[in-house]
Structure 1
């Protein structure tokens, strides 16, 4: 159910913000890569361990040590890439997501993600929550109004009834999935 809720919210946000849904942490300009490059330069893996599960720390520390050794031997660029690729891979798998490589500079990032980062930088979530509330409300209203309109003619023919049922399912699943996402996150905390 949680995956369905996350998928539904992702789809809503994709439609609402009209931006590509691409992973934030696997972009060259994302916070994980920025922190990882700084850690690699300082020869200190500790700051990036927060990006992986405790059970993955040993693997990342080992990869980091191998990469630092290779960098010292003159293969810095390849060593850094090896470390970054593996760190992002382990992080993505820890999120339950697939790993498809590090995305290049200029990769489009979902507008909601950018707004989430901006909220953290400014210390205020108001702009983000206001915008999300407006867009989510609009989407719920749109689906509700469609279902109400089609309900009026649902009994005129099986075909019209099916159109209503399709609209009903779209509306109810959105409401259910949004509530399920909020409920599951508040009850169990984020499983990042």
Structure 2
């Protein structure tokens, strides 16, 4: 899930708002693991009841429901719940592109952007290794600098590959 899943304008809270508007918990259930469905459904039903007590109650209980959904979502990811973050945070250049591509039904913009970033960064790591490769064997500091640069390139390549083929769970 995108790193903005715990923000007030992220996909979990957006799904919560739609669930409340439509009075259908199924809009948000896909964001929590199956084992948490019952807890979220109970929270949803309590929220719907409490919302009838007035605007103040609605505001408080909606926030509680958002927090519950995000907490259960984060637990499902194996990540800690650290509270709801405000809307409008800058999540960098990838999340907005990926979201636009999902809307368009075409991943090209995100893929091209990621390819260009990966190429640029991997070339920098490679060039750093190459620039330190021809060291005097008796200069251990220079050898360490090369070894560090070389390993940074190799391990970055390996970790990036493993992460991509694992679907992000690695």
Normalising by the residue count of structure 2, what TM-score does the alignment of the two structures yield? Answer: 0.90
Per-residue displacement from partner, 1:65-110 (whole Å, max 9, x unpaired)?
Answer: 1222222233111110110001011111211222211111221123
Match of 1:151, SS? Answer: coil
In the alignment of these two chains, the number of paired residues is 166
Aligned position for 1:112: 94
Higher RCO structure, 1 or 2 (CA under 8 Å, sep 6+): 1
Aligned position for 2:26: 46
Where does structure 1 lack aligned partners over 5 or more consecutive residues? 1-21
Aligned position for 2:10: 30
Aligned position for 2:39: 59
Normalising by the residue count of structure 1, what TM-score does the alignment of the two structures yield? Answer: 0.80
> Following TM superposition, where does structure 1 have runs of at least 4 consecutive aligned residues deviating by more than 4 angstroms?
none
Per-residue displacement from partner, 1:38-59 (whole Å, max 9, x unpaired)?
Answer: 2112221111101111111011
Q: Aligned ranges for residues 75-114 of structure 1 at < 5 Å?
A: 75-114=57-96
Aligned position for 1:129: 111
CA 1:156–1:118 in structure 2 vs 1: closer, same or farther (change >3 Å)?
A: farther
Instruction: Give the conservation status (yes or no) of the 8 Å contact 2:10–2:87.
Output: no
Q: CA deviation at 1:29?
A: 1.4
Per-residue displacement from partner, 1:110-142 (whole Å, max 9, x unpaired)?
Answer: 321111111001111111111111110111111
CA distance, structure 2, for counterparts of residue 32 and residue 54 of structure 1: 15
CA RMSD of aligned residues (A): 1.7
